[in-house]
Structure formats: C-alpha cells, structure tokens
Amino acid sequence: MTTAKETSEPLRILDAAIDALAEYGYANCSMQRIADHAEVDKRMLHYYFGDRNGLTVQIAERVGDRLLAGFTSAIEGLSGPREIAAAGFESLWENVVAEPRLHAVHLGLVSAAVTDDSLRAQVARIRDRYSEVILQLAERGRKAGLELRLNDETLVGLILAGLNGLTVDYLQRGETEELTQSLAEFQSWLMQLARPLADA
C-alpha cells in the first residue's frame, strides 16, 4: 500500500506470466518459471489462480485485454471514411510491432488451443472480441459513407487471417522488406474491398 493506485498483485503476476511465456514459449513455461519471473513463490500462483488451468485461463483473458486495449484505443478517434478504412488495419498491425511478445504469446495460445479444449474456448473468446471491435469499426465506416463489398463475418475473417498470417511472418523473420510490401499490398486490397461511395 505504498502508492495510491497500485495494480493488483494478481494482475502484476499475469503480466509477468505473459512475459515468461514470451521468453520460454508455451511448451517450456512451467509454473515455477512463471513464479520466478514474477518474483513470487510458486504456491502463490495456486493461491491466486487455483490450478494451472485457472492460471492459463486468466492469462488468456489478460492477453485478450491487452491485445484489444492497444487496438481499441488506437481507433477511437477515427472518423472520416478514408481514415477508417486506411487506419483500421494499420492500427492492428502497429499493435503487433509495438508488442511482438504479446502476439507471440497469443500465437502460442492459439496453437495450443488446437489440441486443448479449455484453451480453445479462451482463444475463441479473444477472437470474438477482435471480431466485435472490427465490426464496430465497420459500422462506423458505413455510417461515414463507406461501402463494404463483403458481409461482416467474411470481412472479419479476412482481416484476422491476414493479421495472423502476417504476424506469423513477422515473428518468424522480423521486419523484412517483403513483409513491408506484403503489408502494403494487403492494406490496399482492404481499401479496395471497402471504398468510399464517392469513389464509385
């Protein structure tokens, strides 16, 4: 109770856990390592989160929060149709570059979720939250006069697939020349799919 607004201990641990996951990878990140990373006794993890699954669920939740926090704050101010269309995906991507470790952890969760049912639900939740925000943006775009050539779900699917695919490339090989160009191409394609009415 040293400062007035102190983030809660569980939250601090979760962020440390995410960092540990980024450090060692999902497969090699034991509770001991997370505890060490958070400078907490290993049993406190059980105290706060119950068991390993409870911790993982909370980690996934926190990952979702942080992934979305970066995105939502970035697109809050956008208003004009062009701006919305152009900046939407850009914001998504900037978040990847700003927090690559967070996205690496996300990728780890997504990958692990393929064979882990309890994780699957958590990962689906993150996708849903992404979806929700993207749809809100699309809605605002439409109101601002943007004509979207695709139905909502397909748009979300394409954007997230693009984001994920390019993120994998980024995490694998870093910021290459080709990636930058791929990004530009992908973005201009999205612009095509969502062009202001005036362009027609």
Partner DNA sequence: CATGAATGAGCGTTCATTCAT
Partner DNA sequence: TATGAATGAACGCTCATTCAT
How many chain residues touch a copy of itself (CB under 8 A)? 50
d(C-alpha 30, C-alpha 171), whole Å? 22
Cα 159 → chain centroid: 12
137: partner contacted, choices DNA, a copy of itself, none (Cβ within 5-8 A by kind): none
Examine residue 115 and tell whether it contacts a copy of itself (CB under 8 A): yes
Question: Which of 32, 96, 38, 49 is closest to 70 using CA atoms?
Answer: 96
Contact flags string 18-57 toward a copy of itself, x per CB under 8 A: ----xxxxxxx-----------------------------
* Smallest distance from a copy of itself to CB 37, Å: 14
- Strands (E) across 139-198 are located at 146-148, 194-196
Q: Is 134 in the site for a copy of itself (CB under 8 A)?
A: no
Distance of alpha carbon 159 from alpha carbon 21, whole angstroms: 26
Look at residue 113 and give the partner it binds from a copy of itself, DNA, none, a contact being a CB closer than 5 to 8 Å depending on partner kind. Answer: a copy of itself
Question: Which tokens in the block code for residue 77?
Answer: 């101010």
Q: Which does 9 bind (CB under 5 to 8 A by kind): a copy of itself, DNA, none?
A: DNA
| CA R_g for the chain | 19
